[in-house]
Amino acid sequence: MKQTITEKIFSQHVGRPVYAGEIIRCPIDMVIGNDITTPISIKAFEDSGATALANPEGFSIVLDHFIPAKDIASANQARISRDFAKKYAMKHFFDEKDMGIEHALLPEKGLVVPGDVIIGADSHTCTHGALGAFSTGMGSTDLAFAMITGGNWFKVPESIKVVLTGKPGHYTTGKDIILEIIRLIGVDGALYRTLEFTGSTIQYLSMDDRFSMCNMAIEAGAKSGIVAYDAITAEFLADKPLAREPKIHTSDEDATYVQILEIDVGNLEPVIAYPFLPSNGHSLSQAVSDAIKIDQAFIGSCTNGRLGDLKIAAEILKGKRVHPDVRLIVTPATQRIAREATKAGYMDIIIDAGGVVSNPTCGACLGGYMGILGDNEVAVATTNRNFVGRMGSRSSKVYLANSAVAAASAITGYITDPLTILS
């Protein structure tokens, strides 16, 4: 019986063919914790009486949500992970000394590898599927079980095959593709399924695009998102000290899918997700027509805080000024991205335009710090969620967009087509 890429990854790990719907016990290559969720995992680990990590090389903690600490509570929360990392001499522990948002930092470090099975106590762990791995979010106690045993239980998910055709327009990105998918199938349209991204469009999508697409698979209810390894993946990994040997899998041509979704990307405009769901997608033309006034533009997060996003922003902001009524906040996803953006001159352009650059953090995306919205304020953001109160006040509104739209909107004070800024 033919298999999907997801079925093949699990089959390789358990040593026999497995198929969608089976419940299996599977070893895990990388377990990922952060400063918010890991303390719960640590308590469960210690309460179990465990005295050693089952797979020390396959466990990482990234302090990224409230680091540097925003208050006493977050400082104490981070200390729990710091003390645990020191006690067990953790090799893969990242804080201010080598910081970044976990879903950007670990691929950068070569700690997630094609063919891996990866879990993390963060819903956007599905980001890593862009590297041809199975990666999904689980609960903190699931992490503890993996810390203790080196594996966990999974129900092998069914797959939805997303066939993307056509070459994207100049400012149509991976973010727009995933927003269009979510618009079409809804926030529960892929519940406990894998979104497998395929088709001729894939050759035009950078790793930044692919990470963005897999990152937001969860916003359609998906268990994971995945893109098969190809030349673009290989180029991204070429300078990385990979933690393991890659295991390359591709879906069989006649593998079984629960659904096939076809999208002509060549005719896709940038998509704007209106409040209060990622599925509330509208064309950029509609958003421009609606004359949506903004108070804040945010470029960053695990979805769109990569070097390509900062490059696009700088291209649009060069020689321009942020509107007097708008705050532009830019958050590089890692220190390395910040450094490369500085060398390329992007940071100077952003700051000269009136933007402010923060340290790598998840803070603004989840309404924690570094960009909280006040009462009735409106933001256009490259983040992944626009629920009620997601970035601050419950009366605030968040419009999800790509980095080009966010940068252009910062200049005009309204959601804006970036092509009009450059014309």
Q: Are residues 173 and 42 in the same domain?
A: yes
Above 90 in pLDDT, residue 56? yes
**Are 252 and 345 contained in the same domain?**
no
Are 106 and 228 members of one domain? yes
- Mark residue 389 as left, alpha or beta (left: phi above 0; alpha: psi -120 to 50; beta: remaining): left
**Domain limit, last residue, from 246, 263, 280:** 263
| CATH code for the domain in which residue 354 is found | 3.30.499.10
Same domain, 145 and 65: yes
Say whether both 247 and 289 belong to one domain.
no
**Residue after which a domain boundary falls, among 242, 263, 284:** 263
pLDDT at 178: 98
Q: Is the pLDDT of residue 297 over 80?
A: yes
Is the model's pLDDT at 205 over the cut of 80?
Answer: yes
260 CB neighbour count, 10 Å cutoff: 12
What range defines the domain where residue 176 resides? 5-263
Is residue 404 located within the same domain as residue 322? Answer: yes
174 Cβ neighbours under 8 A, 6+ residues apart: 205, 206, 208, 209, 210, 211, 212, 213
Domain count, the chain: 2
According to DSSP, the residues that pair with 261 across neighbouring strands are 162
Same domain assignment for residues 210 and 289: no
> Do 237 and 276 fall into the same domain?
no
pLDDT digits (tens, 9 = 90+) for 210-243: 999 999 999 999 999 999 999 999 999 999 999 9
pLDDT of residue 423: 72
What pLDDT, on the 0 to 100 scale, is given for residue 420? 95
In this prediction, residues 305-323 reach a mean pLDDT of 97
pLDDT at 164: 98
Query: pLDDT for 141-174, tens place per residue?
Result: 999 999 999 999 999 999 999 999 999 999 999 9
Residue with tokens 């790990």: 13
Residues 186 and 318 in one domain: no
User: If pLDDT is split at 50, 70 and 90, which confidence band does 295 have?
Assistant: very high
Last residue within a domain, chosen from 263, 295, 315: 263
Does one domain contain both 276 and 257? no
Question: What integer pLDDT is reported at residue 324 of this predicted model?
Answer: 98
Does 147 share its domain with 281? Answer: no
215/276 same-domain check: no
